[in-house]
Structure 1
Amino acid sequence: MSRVDQPSRRTVLAAAVAAAVTGSAGPAAADPEAAMTTYPAAADRAAPARTVDNRAWFTHGDWCSGTARGTRAVAGTRPGLALATPAGTTEYADPHTGTTAAWEYGTWTSPSHRLTVPATEAIVSWNAHTPPGTWIQVEARATYGDGTSSPWYVMGRWAAGDQDVRRTSVDDQSDGRSTVWTDTLAVDDPSSGLRLTACRLRLTLYRKPGGRATPTVWRLHAMGSDVPARFTVPASAPGPARELAVPRYSQEIHKGQYPEYDNGGEAWCSPTSSQMVVEYWGGRLSPEQLAWVNPAYADPQVCHAARFTYDHQYGGCGNWPFNAAYAATFPGLGGVVTRLGSLTDLETLISAGIPAITSQSFTKGELTGAGYGTAGHLMAVIGFTVDGDVIANDPYSASNEAVRRVYRRREFENIWLRTKRYNSSGAVASGTGGVCYLYFPAAPTAAQRTALGSVGVRV
């Protein structure tokens, strides 16, 4: 998050997409033959129509359903995909280290998933274990409404660590109809009516030649959406009050620390929020894991989260899927990136004990009590007051004690869910349209499973 309302590269590009939506006829009709299971909104309190489709591969049957070359489905309490006999060996030239190395690899390609919401955007997230000497690549290929297809787009090259390869998104991917903006695949001109109607995902698992280690991917998640272009959103009625005991960490106390990770704590809203929610679920880092951090620094786990969410191409810690993947490196945790439709959705999750990390942008004065404006900021929603106002752990605070904030319901809902806004210069800019990270137990309770299912996340 930046204190001044200066756009990031992704924000600038997303603004162009949002502006192009103006004048669109709105979401295209869902395909009647779509195979995706949909979930009703819980306790329907005038819930808006869904504009989001979620599809996950995480069961043993899911992993057996794809096309495998050198990979195998792994059964057990947390099924996944692992290397078998590698399909071959290839070389990868890491653009961030300047080194080229050989890697054994295997691939898995999902069946085609037809989106129930023909989409203008798609985001892919994943949960995986990558022991030393291994890493993964995640790709997506979209089918357009006219039946043609996009190329295979790289949505991330990822490892939990940073010793073998550098975690990275890939720039300059476009076919003139759609483009990858860091972590988001977007239609270039939504006003043309072009939509993504189906997608396939492809995983490539890598390891050092001759080794026995293997990456294991536990979850692969595709979220497609067609959120209407809007400066304001309908207000939702307040629901139940509850506050979750989520740890509080300030990004601001880390100013100047490890500037190689996006200029230090000033820009660490995303990893700081992630670390708060990870620790709410019991995720802890060992002294050995934190030994690299300067012992004079408070809350070294925040520095650790910044380093291990950092996207070396984007030059920041705010890559959405990289944050969800980081959360899932902690034992027993899963994470996804999705969009929600209202504060009613967040209330459903909070009622089941599930906090959410929301992405929003606003000018100073649009969010009473914040005291700043931002072109993009993450915070953890941890509850609701009896009046329906939002209780958030906002990492852009002077101290850990100051992190807990109460924000007005109507203001928060609008800045989070809108797709268009006016920035501090009066120009039209973009909003995230309800983007959030959801972290949850890999073996959820029945109540947690029901709550996640009600917002479209199958677990």
Structure 2
Amino acid sequence: MHFLISFALVISQAAYHREKIDSPTEFTKKGDWEIAQWTSQRTVGFAATELIPSWTADTPPGTWIKVEARIPGSGWYTMARWSYDGPRTTVKGQKDASGRVAVDVLKAARPFTSYRLRVRLARPPGSAVRPRVRTLGAVASAPGRTPAAKGGAAWGKELQVPRKSQLAHADHGGRTWCSPTSTAMVLAYWGKGPGAGELAGYPPGDPDPAVDHAAEHTFDKAYGGAGNWAFNTAYAGRFGLDAYVTRLRSLAEVERFIVRGVPVVTSLAFAKRELGYGSEGHLMVVTGFTADGDVIANDPAVRTVRAVYPRAAFEKAWQRSSTGTAYIIRPFPANR
């Protein structure tokens, strides 16, 4: 059972106070900063065991945000220190009697029915610039077996998502870039992404500078890679899109997005006997379904990119390995 709260908010006009940061783990640099903060309290309608925050924000050069989470009995866990231009990092070694942080997931030691999020916005003293948080939310979940729903709403429908390959970047680390490559595909589908100026610094002959840019701007310094779920949706949000991490209970729920023209990035691990090759952790874009309900995906690890996978095997692997983790990246609703 899963529960998502996504706050549609703008945090930019909060009052700032000066604060001395003695530890470089706070906002990378020691010294004085001007800090503003906002805190939420939310109730979950069931006993959850995991929490994944995500956000979209604008961080002018020199500014930062820090996203924190708290569950009953715990202190504040740092989920991210983030800025678009970087560096971006999670914090290793966060563990106490209440839970632990595994890169982008807060794993509770015991079930919880409420949580708090806090975001701290930082800028240099005397600066007039204001970092802005546009959305902040979290998906709380209780991993467990969910009966597969039959679906059918999107059978025979395929979205024309531009195809991008992580293998084209294998000579400079791209074999592990499934997440930013998937994010870049969805950005291209919506006609969004870095402009010519941001891509100008990549060398001539680069097979796809947009993928390199996505990998660079989703890199998590502590994790040592570009696979941080929330960093990928935050990157997509930088281009004006509504982007968040969630967990879906079945492919039937994915179909609801496909029907509305929204591709879904899925995170899963699988064996060769299930999908034809094996991976301990991979992301791909579900773009539609065959007439029989099998999954059509833009898989960045497949040379042709477009691939079709058996529905039952895909769904089982996705739910088993990541509890149905997905990125939703789409334009904001017109009535927001």
* TM-score category of the 2 structures, normalised to the smaller one: over 0.9
In structure 2, what is the equivalent of residue 178 of structure 1? 99
Alignment partner of 1:324 is 2:233: yes
Q: In percent, how many aligned pairs have the same letter? A: 44
Report deviation, 1:84: 4.1
Secondary structure class of the residue paired with 1:255: helix
Alignment partner of 1:441 is 2:328: no
Distance 2:190 2:246 in 1: 19
In structure 2, what is the equivalent of residue 82 of structure 1? 12
In structure 2, what is the equivalent of residue 56 of structure 1? 6
Deviating beyond 6 angstroms after TM superposition, the runs of 4 or more aligned structure 1 residues are none
2:129 to 213, 223, 234: 213
Distance 1:336 1:139 in 2: 16
Report deviation, 1:89: 2.5
* CA displacement, residues 199-258 of structure 1 (integer Å, 9 cap, x when unaligned): 111110000111111110010111100121x5x95362433321111110000010122x
Question: Structure 2: which amino acid aligns with 1:396?
Answer: A
In structure 1, what is the equivalent of residue 83 of structure 2? 159
Alignment partner of 1:239 is 2:157: no
Q: Conserved in 2, the CA contact under 8 Å of 1:92 and 1:103? A: no
Secondary structure class of the residue paired with 1:176: coil
Q: What is the TM-score of this pair, normalised by structure 1?
A: 0.70
Query: What stretches of structure 2 of length at least 5 have no aligned partner?
Result: none
Secondary structure class of the residue paired with 1:365: helix
Query: What stretches of structure 1 of length at least 5 have no aligned partner?
Result: 1-50, 60-79, 144-148, 189-193, 258-263, 419-430, 446-458
Question: Structure 1: which amino acid aligns with 2:69?
Answer: A
Report deviation, 1:380: 0.3
Q: Conserved in 2, the CA contact under 8 Å of 1:89 and 1:209? A: no
Q: Conserved in 1, the CA contact under 8 Å of 2:149 and 2:252? A: no
Distance 2:334 2:298 in 1: 23
Question: Structure 2: which amino acid aligns with 1:348?
Answer: R
Distance 1:346 1:84, change over 3 A: closer
Report deviation, 1:413: 1.0
Aligned residues: 335
Question: Structure 1: which amino acid aligns with 2:324?
Answer: G
Secondary structure class of the residue paired with 2:57: strand
* Superposed counterparts of 1:248-397, under 5 Å: 248-257=163-172, 264-331=173-240, 333-368=241-276, 372-397=277-302
In structure 2, what is the equivalent of residue 198 of structure 1? 114
Q: Conserved in 2, the CA contact under 8 Å of 1:133 and 1:213? A: no
Q: What is the TM-score of this pair, normalised by structure 2?
A: 0.95
Secondary structure class of the residue paired with 1:289: helix
Distance 2:211 2:79 in 1: 25
